[in-house]
Amino acid sequence: MLNDILDLVDRTIDARLTRLNSFLRIQSISTDSTYSTHCARAVNWVATQLRDLGAVASVHSTKSHPIVLGKLPAQGKRLLFYGHYDVQPVDPLELWESEPFQPTYIDNGDGAAVVARGSADDKGQMSTFLEALRAWKEVIGDLPSPLRS
């Protein structure tokens, strides 16, 4: 079962990286109000990904930026996943070796790594979780536990 899931991920890695790259390109800097529309794009991106997985996803206003709540039905114990779509500012820009919102793949000595604002906190992790769910559902079908994210 796990090998089937990993084989699927290997066969479909380009589509998975395309989704990650599209998320990383969104300039969702939450501490700067000039990026509010970008934060809204990121919220919609997350909600769309959850809906594509079959979740009921809803966007909720807060005093600051909205949150997304997604629910995937299943049997068993409930799982909860948290992630955030916003990123830190890119300043000082001159310290970047590549454009902060243009994903760049490098060999870091341990293999390929993606460099972009948010790739390590938290868009990369959120995308990994979503892609794991996507691969599980494509190979196995329903999730073994209900999920809230």
User: Hey, what domains does the chain have and what are their CATH numbers?
Assistant: 2-148 (3.40.630.10)
66 upstream amide cis, omega within 30 of 0: no
- Give, as one character, the DSSP assignment of residue 105: E
What's the pLDDT tens digit per position in 28-85? 999 999 999 999 999 999 999 999 998 899 999 999 899 999 988 777 777 788 999 9
Task: Return the SS3 of 67.
Answer: strand
pLDDT at 114 over 80: yes
Q: What are phi and psi of 67, to 5 degrees?
A: -115, 160
Mean pLDDT of the chain: 92
Question: How many whole angstroms separate alpha carbon 70 and alpha carbon 54?
Answer: 9
DSSP H stretches of helix in the chain: 2-11, 13-24, 36-52, 123-139
Q: How far apart (Å, rounded) are the C-alpha atoms in residues 97 and 104?
A: 10
pTM of the model: 0.92
CA atoms within 13 A on the CB side of 83: 23
| Residue type at 12 in one-letter notation | T
pLDDT at 148: 63
**For residues 21 and 103, is the Cβ–Cβ distance under 8 A?**
yes
